[in-house]
Amino acid sequence: MALDVAPQDVITRDNVSIKVSAVIYFRVVDPERAIVAVQDYLYATSQIAQTTLRSVLGQVELDDLLSARDKINQQLQRIIDEHTEPWGIKVANVEVKQIDLPQDMQRAMAKQAEAERERRAKVINADGEFQAAAKLSEAAEVLTRHPIAVQLRYLQTMREIASERSTTTFFPLPLDLFGPLLQAFNKGGDGSKA
């Protein structure tokens, strides 16, 4: 048999007021005890389910209720079955059907979820920046060990710029050409001061 447990007002361990409904699946395994041991086994099973639902859910926090529902369902089933066994009732399954949260709690949870998504995005972005910086550092080390690589990279960059149909014209000049010119300029500047 399936028996709906009416919505119950529950205050969780972290003081959140919620309304919870459930369904209980059971069978009568001993009809004689179901009639003799209790006056109305349907009513009695419903009542024990309601009180157990309030009692168990009052001991858990809201996050646990939302995330560990299977574990809570098993705990409810075990406790209710212990109480109904003397009546010849075997509880096969208990399922928390619906959890109604107050509007302000729903808004707070939405804000919390949004903040968590933003936090994860920032962490992923920071990891990407860190990896890019590490790769640039490695590239700089390679370029300092192999000076010809700088000139090859320079030529590759010029080729990329030239392929964009730009009106800018580039004249590649060897960097060694500027060394003597700068030395001559510095000597001429020192002679004029004397």
Per-residue pLDDT of the chain (194 residues), as tens digits, is 899 998 888 888 888 888 999 999 999 999 988 888 888 999 999 999 999 999 999 899 888 888 888 999 999 999 999 999 999 999 999 999 888 887 887 787 778 888 888 999 999 999 999 999 999 888 888 878 887 777 777 778 777 777 776 666 666 666 666 677 777 777 766 555 44
**DSSP β-bridge partners for residue 89:** 28
Contacts for 29 with CB less than 8 Å, ≥ 6 apart: 88, 89, 90
The architecture in CATH of the region 2-101 reads 2-Layer Sandwich (3.30)
Measure the CA–CA gap between 72 and 80, rounded to whole angstroms: 12
Measure the CA–CA gap between 47 and 119, rounded to whole angstroms: 45
**Total-model pTM:** 0.57
